[in-house]
Amino acid sequence: MDYTQLVTALKENNSKKINELLEALRPRLMAFLRVHMNADRADAEDCVQNSLLDSIEIIKEDRLNDPGQVVSYILSTCRNNYLKMRRDKRTESLDEVSEDQRQAPRQLQSLLDEEQKRLLEWCLNQLKKEYQKFMQYWFDHPDTHTNKVAEHFGISVNNAWTRKHRLIKKLNECYRKKSNL
């Protein structure tokens, strides 16, 4: 999706297009806050709403220099607003929070709840043993280069990436189907 259209739509006051783009963007920003920033659902919702309002105001006032940077701008606004929200909640200084954020590795939060995780595990168990071993090996050796993974399973490097992509996609489809979403 080309978000530069948002800038055009806002300038032309095209409400239908604006709503369409914002509705597409909203759940993606929610995912960013929840996965990357470890935000809980309520905070993420509030933060996305405020960030979109802030961004719309900036774009309408023509203060965004490069429309091509609109995604980057909205993402940064979202991140900064969330950090500010956390600072206000925890009465920490922004510097302290930023220090927190720099501490690696970041613990990424999955959006799956326990029920979805159980379904995903069920789907994983339906895969052939060989494929289960492949995924287990992949995550058991996070520092191993893909060359080694490919060598271990007697396939080419490209095939290793393709196999991984297909398995993740298959699991995604399986648990979504299973949970009837």
Partner 1 sequence: MHKMSRDLELEKQIDAYIKGKLTEEQALELWEKLLENPDYIELLDTELGLKSILEERASSDSADDTDVSSAKERSIIYSIQRYWKWMAAAAVVIILVVAVNILRINTSQNLKNVAVKNIQLAENLSSARILRSQSSGLSVADSLLNVGFEAAISGNVGKALAMYNKIITDHGDEPAVVKAFLNRGIIQYNNGKFDHSISSFRKVLANINKKNPILKEKALWYMGNAYINTDRLEQARNAIHSVYAMDGIYRHSAFRLLKKLDYKLGNVDF
Q: Site residues (CB under 8 A) for partner 1?
A: 1-3, 23-32, 35-36, 41-42, 45, 71-72, 75-76, 79, 101-102, 104-106, 108-122, 124, 135-136, 139-140, 142-143, 161, 164-165, 168-169, 171-173, 175-176, 178-181
Q: How far apart are CA 128 and CA 105, in angstroms?
A: 32
Q: Which two tokens stand for residue 149?
A: 């993974």
Please report which residue ranges of 13-108 form alpha helices under DSSP H.
15-31, 41-60, 70-90, 94-102
Residue 94 to residue 62: CA distance in whole angstroms? 28
Select 13 or 139, whichever has its Cβ closest to partner 1.
Answer: 139
Write down the least CB distance from residue 60 to partner 1, Å: 21
As measured in angstroms, the least distance from the Cβ of 170 to partner 1 is: 10
Q: How far is the CB of 3 from partner 1 (least distance, A)?
A: 7
**Do residues 119 and 77 touch, judged by C-beta distance below 8 A?**
no
- Smallest gap from Cβ 83 to partner 1, in A, equals 12
Which of 109, 21, 39, 108 lies closest to 78 in space, CA to CA? 39
Both tokens of 165, joined, read 């992509």
In the bound state with partner 1, the residue whose beta carbon lies nearer, of 23 and 130, is: 23
Q: How far apart are CA 108 and CA 39, in angstroms?
A: 10
Q: Min. distance of Cβ 93 from partner 1 in angstroms?
A: 18
